[in-house]
Structure 1
Amino acid sequence: MLPCVGEPYGSPAPVPSTTWPGEARSKAVPRKRFLGSAVARVTEDGEWEVIHRAEVTEDEWLHLVYRDETWVTQIDGSMVEGAHGTVSGAPTSSLTLPGLVVLMLGAAGISDVDKVLEVGTGTGYSAALMCHMLGSHAVTSVEYNPAVAGRARDALTAAGYAPTLVTGVARGSRVDPEVLDDPAGLFAAQLAAPSAVRLGGGDEAVLWDVATGSLAVTGLDPQGGWTVRQRGPLRLWDAVEAAVLTWQAAGSPHQSAYGLTVTREGQYVWLGDPNGPSWDLPI
């Protein structure tokens, strides 16, 4: 029987204490399914040594897979299967050490009746653990990188799990997602998507509409600017983008520049004066 979380292959590695109910169940999710055929580890010089499964024995590979260690699977947006020897660059996807995964899930306080939105599918290993605990129907995972998302989907399917995986089709964004870090910018965005919550920040923001399940995920475009991927019945970023551009055209004013009008027919927030740009609010 192959070792799993909490039973590293070879020398024992410490596993953090946690009350997460899925810790014992995680032993049913084989980590090797989510590692692919090559990994990279950092060298003393700060570069990356690529290790291919075909270049080591089966016993050595299993020892590597089940160590309580993080293995990098993508560097500068390229999967490491296509690299050999030592390479340089920034890690952009990895299989997190299992002890930390268990610790994070325990800290989240996830129970058997919860539904989970995971931002950053990566290899799919964390999503698999949550699917095993909650059922695939209760797990939604968002991955910005199409190559990473495709490999995670294959690994999850092979392991018998089918969470909702979101990648979407990317388009350019006309506004910098970091504008949502400004309270006034976030206020303008919230007017356009009143039932949405924001996760993350900076260039990589996730908007999740709790009423419809619609999603928008932003990220940096390697060629400059930003991209956004959207899914669901509402085009969240389209609405947010339009509201932010309107706010910026007005000089990016403080929230005090807005007013509220309430009538028998409804209510709306306006910018500048009652005849200016406005956004209907749910009643």
Structure 2
Amino acid sequence: MTSAFTDQAAAEARRVLAQALTDAGDLTDPDWRRAFEDVPRHVFVPYFYAPSGERISDDDRWFTAVHEDRSLVTHRTDGAATSSSSQPSLMATMLEALAVADGMNVLEIGAGTGYNAALLVHRLGDDHVTTVDIAEDITGPARERLAAAGYRPTVITGDGSLGAPDRAPYDRIIVTCGLSSVPVALLQQLTADGFLLAPLGNALARVHPTGPGTATGRFLPHGAFFMPLRHTPADGVPTRRPPLPTGPGRPSTLPAKAIADNHFRFLAGIAVPGLTWQYDLNDDREITGARVWHPDGSIAQLHPDTTVTEAGPRPLWTLLEEAHRAYQVVGRPAPDRYGVTIEPTEQHIWLDDPNGPRWLLLDV
């Protein structure tokens, strides 16, 4: 594929993608639409990894994929996916939710390929964008691709949970990796009227500081599945699955179809964080069985006959059944009914009101 053909075809492919995002309601701001039309995603994603592990680059499959509304795995550590280019529709949703204005300074946690930083620079300018990622083998290529596309934000290699205090304060902080709790260091780097937008569980929380060590926020209705924040370059390799539980099963009160309910999965991810899942699917792509485990060695298996077996220090399926009962009692809420409160010693997720049902997110 010649570069001339790539440039010509890519411009048209970007226009088609931007129109599709607009038609779907994911892209409503003309400034962000221009960014998606102008910033060349193919420059930032010169290859990606298929689910089989095959590296795909410089062919029709690659060119088509980078101009579709899909996430693409772009980095692997010891065979495990540890970085990706996010789904453009989710990127558009998050960028518009930032509600930026000219002159604002933005910190991005999770530089990845550099594509999202390029979109931010297109809107705000080089001097107003700082992006951080954990490893030089991610930030180095991102920096090079940004420069090749004509963008020069500040790219920093480091632990994203610490932010980039030397360039603070920021009007907005956008986190493009999954969090299990909100790093207090990031909140301390916001302006008084700024906010942080981050994935907690599998949804997006917009969090506003309210005082020293305190903050509050609400969740947006959109789902948001991201790879977890890495604190060291060695992070990111999934926990090896413990041995499957043996012995007789018991009837499960959590139906397999509930696992595919993203609204329930939000609460499950808050109530029982840190889980890894595997699924069995039938010909209709319906879940018929599952295995779920935790780094502490706990594991549960849902069998096709709807029985479940558990092993390890915690009864994971029992905990998920309890979460599902609570989910049903409160009316099967979507993520936008939840909020988050951050205090110096605790972080909580709550439903409808800070005094309503609540789940401990972090005990400092």
Q: TM-score, normalised by structure 1?
A: 0.52
Please say if 1:120 is aligned against 2:121.
no
Shift of 1:108: 1.5
Shift of 1:5: 4.2
Aligned to 2:310: none
Counterparts of residues 1-283 of structure 1 (less than 5 Å) = 1=8, 2=10, 3-5=12-14, 7-8=16-17, 15=24, 16-19=26-29, 21-36=31-46, 38-42=47-51, 48-54=52-58, 56=59, 59-75=60-76, 77=77, 89=80, 91-168=81-158, 205=183, 207-208=185-186, 210=189, 219-220=231-232, 222=234
Q: Would you say the 8 A contact 2:104–2:124 is kept in 1?
A: yes
Q: 1:206 to 1:93 in 2, by over 3 A?
A: farther
The one-letter amino acid of 1:73's match is T
Q: 1:153 to 1:138 in 2, by over 3 A?
A: same
Aligned partners of 1:51, 1:73: CA distance in 2, in Å?
9
Shift of 1:53: 1.8
Aligned to 1:275: none
SS, match of residue 110 in structure 1: coil
The one-letter amino acid of 1:22's match is W
The one-letter amino acid of 1:51's match is R
The one-letter amino acid of 1:62's match is F
Aligned partners of 2:110, 2:68: CA distance in 1, in Å?
22
Can you list the C-alpha shifts for 1:210-241, whole angstroms capped at 9, x where unaligned?
49xxxxx9714638xxxxxxxxxxxxxxxxxx
SS, match of residue 39 in structure 1: strand
Unaligned stretches of 5+ residues in structure 2: 1-7, 163-168, 191-228, 236-343, 346-364
Shift of 1:24: 2.1
Q: 1:26 to 1:112 in 2, by over 3 A?
A: farther
Identity across the alignment (%): 30
Q: 1:72 to 1:113 in 2, by over 3 A?
A: same
Moved over 6 A (4+): 195-200
Can you list the C-alpha shifts for 1:105-147, whole angstroms capped at 9, x where unaligned?
0111122231100000000000000101110100010111221
Aligned partners of 1:116, 1:127: CA distance in 2, in Å?
10
The one-letter amino acid of 1:222's match is A
Aligned to 1:247: none
Q: Would you say the 8 A contact 1:120–1:141 is kept in 2?
A: yes
| Alignment length (residue pairs) | 178
Aligned partners of 2:103, 2:92: CA distance in 1, in Å?
18
Q: Would you say the 8 A contact 1:205–1:219 is kept in 2?
A: no
Shift of 1:159: 0.6
Aligned partners of 2:55, 2:179: CA distance in 1, in Å?
34
Can you list the C-alpha shifts for 1:51-79, whole angstroms capped at 9, x where unaligned?
3325x3xx44321221111110112x26x
Q: 1:219 to 1:135 in 2, by over 3 A?
A: same
SS, match of residue 50 in structure 2: strand
Larger of the two Rg values belongs to structure: 1
Q: 1:206 to 1:118 in 2, by over 3 A?
A: farther
How large is the RMSD of aligned CA atoms in angstroms? Answer: 4.0
Aligned to 2:222: none
